[in-house]
Amino acid sequence: MSARPALLQVARLSPECEARLADRYVVQRWMTPEERAVAPRSELELLVTTAPVGVDAMLMDRLPALKAIVCRGVGVDAIDLATARGRGIVVSTTPGVLDGCVADAALGALLAVARGLVTADRFVRRGDWSRGRFPAATRVHGKRLGIVGLGAIGRQIARRAVGFDLEVRYHNRRPTDVAWPYEPDLPALARWADFLVLSCSGGAATHHLIDARVLDALGPQGFLVNVARGSVVDEAALIGALASGRIAGAALDVYADEPRVPSALLALDNVVLLPHLASNSRETFAAMEQRVLDNVDSWFARGRLLTPVA
């Protein structure tokens, strides 16, 4: 009987997925920075990670035989793609299976912050209802929605927005073939929008794309929703805009230094704070991890990944 192939795992998966990997392969685990710091160089050719953990150049340097990286998630900003490409290492993610859940979360977050739903829950729990009505919030239907990043997730958000009678426009690096109007100027889109939803990729190209200038354009009646990456927003500028009332509110699922959330954000009532849960449904996680297994199986059976990053 031939030996089972071996792989390296550097990020925690579900117990079920880890058990299935261990049943098929010999799994070596370097699960913490401390373990990776003392681990010997390895000749393993495939590595499994997740989008938040990623793979940096230093780790790749300890893996001279590395040929493939299989990542659970769609974000690649924590993976040093330049180093991987320079060495001919192919990288796969799990696209297509989480778009709907992230779009659901974006619309849920938008509703929560505009209508004050989280604050209203606390209002009832404190017993404040018996002392007066909850303050009026902002209507959602019939308003204007600007989407920054009309990829697969952005399109799902736009389709859902139509059901709320929202008028949609979008900003991308370039226009795409869709029915919704394209706005090449990001501050102009923010100025037009009542709600600005971020669903773009992270990384150097979008670092602090949403800065004080864009927030000021969004204005005191506008709301920001971020289900993209924390790096896309200048967090200090956002805190200042929220605290001073230069924007009406924000709903955030991602942060610059997760899981640490600035105390200034925790103290504000006009922001809804979520723990990076947009893709976190049982169904979506199962589908993502099945895609991980499928990519690993395909590599060892055929020498290729099913969903490589372009």
Q: DSSP 3-state assignment of 38?
A: helix
195 and 246 in contact (C-beta within 8 Å)?
no
Active site residues: 229, 258, 276
In this structure, are residues 224 and 238 in contact, taking their beta carbons and an 8 Å threshold?
yes
Beta bridge partners of 273: 252
| Cβ neighbours for 231, distance < 8 A, ≥ 6 positions apart | 77, 202, 203, 206, 207, 208, 256
**3-class secondary-structure state, position 153:** helix
Tell me how far CA of residue 75 lies from CA of 2, 111, 121, 149, 227, in angstroms: 36, 25, 32, 13, 12
CA-nearest of 60, 119, 115 to 86 is 60
* Residue written as token pair 């990670």: 49
Closest by CA to 304, choosing from 46, 29, 94, is 46
State the Cα–Cα distance between residues 178 and 199, nearest whole angstrom.
16
Burial track 84-117 (b if 16+ CB lie within 10 A, e otherwise): beeeebbbbbbbebbbbbbbbbbbbbbbbbbebe
Alpha-carbon dihedral 220, 105, 119, 129, rounded to 10 degrees: 130
CB of 34 within 8 A of CB of 10? Answer: no
